[in-house]
Amino acid sequence: MSGAKLVQGNEACVRGALAAGCNFYAGYPITPSSEIAELMVRFLPDAGGVFVQMEDEIASLATVIGASLAGSRAMTATSGPGFSLMQEHIGFATMAEVPCVVVNVMRGGPSTGLPTSPSQGDVMQARWGTHGDHPSIVLAPSSVGEVFNLTVKAFNLAERFRTPVTLIYDEIIGHTRESVVFPDSVDVISRPRPNGDPSTFLPKAAPPDGVPPMPAFGDGYRFHVTGLTHDERGFPTTDPGQAGALITRIHDKVTNHQEEITEIETLMLDDAEIAIFAYGIVGRSAHEAVLRAREAGIRVGMIRPLTLWPFPYHQVGEVAAQVDTLLVAEMNLGQLIGEVERAAAGRSEIVGHLRADGEPITPTDLVAAISGAGAVRT
C-alpha cells in the first residue's frame, strides 16, 4: 500500500480533528485517551489553534463550550471517570445548542476500574448520562481508519445540528496501530450563521430544519446563553408552550435528520438465519467470526452500527424480521441489547454474548456462540 503509515487510533482521532478544522482543545489527560492530548499539544499550535491543559474534566468541557461560542471548532477527550464529570456540561451544550466534540476512549469501570483495559461500558451513559430529556449523537468506530473518518463526521454533525457529539471507542482501538492512508482533504461542514439585521436578531428562532443560525461572540449579534429553558430571544421562560416547543425542537432537529446521521455496516445478511449485532472493536471480531462460520456452512451475517445514537431501531428491526436469532455481542453486561430487543419487538430470538472482564471478545468466542445459537434453534 503506497503512502501507508502505522498510526495509532488516538493519533487518527487527532488527525481527523485537524482535518475537520478543529482549532481549540481543552482537556485533562487520562488513560487510555492521553495520546490525544499529547498529540494535540504538539500539532494544534502549529495549525493556528489553541490547546489548554485544564484542572479537571468539568472545566475542560466548560472551556470547550466557551471556545465554541466564540466561533471555534472545539473538542475534548477523556475516558470513563472524566466522561462522568463532563455529563453536566454535555447537558448544558445540548440545551444551549453549542457545537462541540467529546471523545470517550472507554476503559473498564465503574469508577477508576481498569485504566489500561478495554470496555464498552459507557454506551448507555453516552445516551443518558446527562439529566433531562435530550437527544444524543454518538459515533463508534471499529478501526483506526474509521476513527479518522468518524472524528471528521463528529465535527460536521456537531456544527450542522448545533449539538455536542460523542465519539466513543475502547482502549484497544485507541492504542492499536494499523496501516492507514489518510485522504488529502475532507468535506467540512460549518454551523449556520445569521446574516440578518442584528437589531432584530432572535438567537433561538429556528428555520424549518430546527437549527437556529449561530453567531460567534464578537460578530455583532447580541445573544444570551443559558441552560434554563428559554424562548426564541434566548431568555429564560417557564411558559409551558415555549418549554415544550424548545424540548421538542432540540429532539426533532436530530431525529428528523437521522438519515444524515445513521451509518451502518452489514455483512452477508441476505440468507442469514443468525445475525450478530456488534459495534466498535467487537465488530471486528464479528466480521471475522461470520467469515469463519460461513466456511463451516452456518448461515450467519452481521449488522454493525457506526452510529449508536440515535439508535437505528428501524434497520435493526428489519434484520430481526428476517433472521431467527440476533446474537448481541458487547463488552459490558448488557447495554445495547435492550435497544436491540426494543427494535426486534419479538420478531427474533435475542441472545447476548456479554463480557466485562477487561478482555476482548474474540472471533473464536463468537464462532462458538453462533454454533451454540444454531444448536439451540434446531
Which residue of 4, 47, 296, 321 would you call a contact of other proteins, by CB under 8 A? 4
User: Could you give phi then psi for residue 314, rounded to 5 degrees?
Assistant: -60, -50
Residue 285 or 335: the one with the smaller Cβ distance to other proteins is: 285
Q: Does 10 bind other proteins (CB under 8 A)?
A: no
Could you say whether residue 38 binds other proteins (CB under 8 A)? no
Asked if 149 touches other proteins (CB under 8 A), the answer is no
| Per-position x/- string for 306-345, each x denoting binding to other proteins as judged by CB under 8 A, each - no binding | ----------------------------------------
Cβ at position 33, least distance to other proteins in Å:
14
Instruction: Map residue 338 onto helix, strand or coil.
Output: helix
Question: Which of 187, 177, 166 lies closest to 143 in space, CA to CA?
Answer: 177
Q: Which three cell numbers stand for residue 70?
A: 466564540
Stretch that binds other proteins, among 169-177, 268-276, 328-336, 342-350 (CB under 8 A): 169-177
Stretch that binds other proteins, among 84-92, 126-134, 168-176, 319-327 (CB under 8 A): 168-176
320 near 312, Cβ under 8 Å? no
How far apart are the C-alpha atoms of 142 and 306, rounded to whole Å? 8
List strands edge to edge, sheet with 274-277: 264-267, 300-305, 274-277, 325-330, 349-354
Give, as ranges, the residues between 243 and 262 that touch other proteins (CB under 8 A): none
Look up residue 142 and give its three cell numbers.
471499529
Q: Helices (H) and strands (E) in the chain — how many of each? A: 13, 15
In the complex, what is the shortest distance from the CB of residue 11 to other proteins, in angstroms, rounded to a whole number?
12
Q: Give the nearer residue to other proteins in terms of CB position, either 229 or 285.
A: 285
Give the span between the Cα atoms of 115 and 124, in whole angstroms: 19
Q: Would you count residue 115 as binding other proteins (CB under 8 A)?
A: yes
Closest CA to 43 of 64, 6, 18, 20: 18
If binding is defined by CB under 8 A, does position 294 make contact with other proteins?
Answer: no
DSSP SS3 for 264: strand
Residue 230, classified by CB atoms within 10 Å of its CB into exposed (0-12), middle (13-18) or buried (19+), is buried
197: amino acid identity, one letter: D
265 binds other proteins (CB under 8 A): no
- C-beta of 302 vs 351, nearer to other proteins: 302
Sole binder of other proteins in the list 232, 263, 288, 349 (CB under 8 A)? 288
> What are the residues binding other proteins (CB under 8 A)?
1, 4-6, 31, 114-116, 143, 172, 175-179, 281, 284-285, 287-288, 291, 360, 362-364
